[in-house]
Amino acid sequence: MQRIALLTSGGDSPGMNACIRAVARKAIYHGLEVMGIKRGFNGFIEADMYPMNLGSVAGIIHRGGTILHTARSDHFMTPEGRAKANENVKRFGIQGLVVIGGDGSFRGASVFHQEYGLPVIGVPGTIDNDIAGTDQSIGFDTAVNTAVEAISKIRDTATSHERTFIIEVMGRHFGFIALAAGLAGGAESILVPECPFNYDEICERLMRGYKRGKLHSIIVVAEGVAGGIEVGRIIKERTGFDTKVTILGHLQRGGMPSAADLILASRMGARAVELLMAGSKKDMVGVKAGEIIAVDIDEALSQTKAIDTEMCNLAVSLSI
C-alpha cells in the first residue's frame, strides 16, 4: 500500500481534527502518502483533494470542526456519484480510504467497497455516540461537557428566578447526550427516546420538589423525544410554573475537544492506518472497555446501540 485518502463526513464533531492529524502522521510515519479529501464524499466525487504532509496537520490538534470540511452527500448515495468517485480512485492511485463520520457515512463507504473493492476504514466521529460496535465516538465527551457547562449556567439563573428550564440537547434519534449530560448536570428529569415517560409523572415530581421548597428545576430533553418548546408548553400548562426553554443546538458541535476526545481521536486515527496496512477491507475502529478494537463495518451498522439502563435507573433514583 502506497497511497491512502482520508475524509470527514456528516455532522462535524470535536476531535475530528485530532483524528485527521493522527491518520496523516501515522501514515507518513510508515512511509505512505496521504490525500486529504475536502467536503466529505462530495470532494471524493469532484476530485477536491490534495496531498497532505506533516505541515498540513500542524497546529490543528486542539481545534474543533474539521480542516477538511464536511458534508452529507446525496450525490454519493447514487451509483453515478460513486462511479465518478471511483474514477478519482484510479486517477489518484488511492489504495485505501479512511472515513471519519457517523453511520450514514459508513453506509456509503461500505456500499463503495462492495461495488469497487476499495478497502475502507470507518472511524466513528459524531457527538451523538449512536454507533454500535464502539463504546464511544469522537466528539461525544466534548459535547456532553459543553451541555453540562450550559446546564450549570442555566441552573444559576433558574435558581435566581425560581424557574423551570427545559434544555433540549442534540442526539438525533438517541438519548446518549441527554442521559450523560442530564446525569452529570443533576437534572430533575431526563427525557430520552429509548425510555418511555409520561408527563403526569414528570409534573408530579416537579410539584413534589416545589412543595419541599425547591426553587428551580431542570429537565433535559433529547431532540429525538420531542421539541423542547413543545415539552415546555405542556409542563407550563400542567404545572403553571414559570417555564423557559433553551435549545443548545449546534454549540454542542463546536469548541476545543476534551482531553478524552483528543486521546480517543489520536488512538482511533492511528489504528485506522494500521488496519489498512494490515490488509483490512472494511472495518470500523471502535473502543471497548478502553481498548481500541476493529469490527466489521456492516456488523456494526446492523446493530442498534442500546442505552445504558443502569444509568437511566440511576438518573431516576437520584432525581426524587
- Cβ 116 vs Cβ 291: under 8 Å: no
Least Å from the CB of residue 217 to ligand F6P = 24
DSSP code at position 78? S
Least Å from the CB of residue 14 to ligand F6P = 11
Q: Answer left, alpha or beta for residue 6, where phi above 0 means left and psi between -120 and 50 means alpha.
A: beta
Least Å from the CB of residue 160 to ligand F6P = 30
Pairing of strands 49-52, 33-37: antiparallel
> Is 25 annotated to bind ligand?
yes
DSSP code at position 31? T
Count of alpha carbons within 13 Å of 8, Cβ hemisphere only? 26
CA dist 273 and 45 (Å) reads 22
CA dist 153 and 108 (Å) reads 40
Catalytic residue among 12, 128, 130, 283: 128
Q: Which is nearer to ligand F6P, 102 or 133 (CB)?
A: 102
Q: Which is nearer to ligand F6P, 170 or 203 (CB)?
A: 170
CA dist 45 and 49 (Å) reads 10
Three cell numbers, residue 89: 480512485
Q: Which is nearer to ligand F6P, 11 or 15 (CB)?
A: 11
> Is 102 annotated to bind ligand?
yes
Chain residues binding ligand F6P by CB under 6 A are 11, 102, 126-128, 170-172, 223, 253
> Is 11 annotated to bind ligand?
yes
Q: Which is nearer to ligand F6P, 33 or 223 (CB)?
A: 223
- Residue 210 buriedness (CB in 10 A; 0-12 / 13-18 / 19+): middle
Least Å from the CB of residue 318 to ligand F6P = 25
Q: Which is nearer to ligand F6P, 25 or 253 (CB)?
A: 253
> Is 188 annotated to bind ligand?
yes
> Is 233 annotated to bind ligand?
no
Report phi then psi at 7, rounded to 5: -145, 160
> Is 236 annotated to bind ligand?
no
Is 128 designated active site?
A: yes
- Cβ 164 vs Cβ 239: under 8 Å: yes
**Which residues does residue 164 pair with via DSSP β-bridges, in sequence order?**
217, 243
Least Å from the CB of residue 170 to ligand F6P = 3
Three cell numbers, residue 291: 481498548
Three cell numbers, residue 24: 496523516
> Is 253 annotated to bind ligand?
yes
The set of catalytic residues is 128
The binding site for ADP consists of 21-25, 155, 186-188, 212, 214-216
The binding site for substrate consists of 126-128, 163, 170-172, 223, 244, 250-253
The binding site consists of 11, 21-25, 72-73, 102-105, 126-128, 155, 163, 170-172, 186-188, 212, 214-216, 223, 244, 250-253
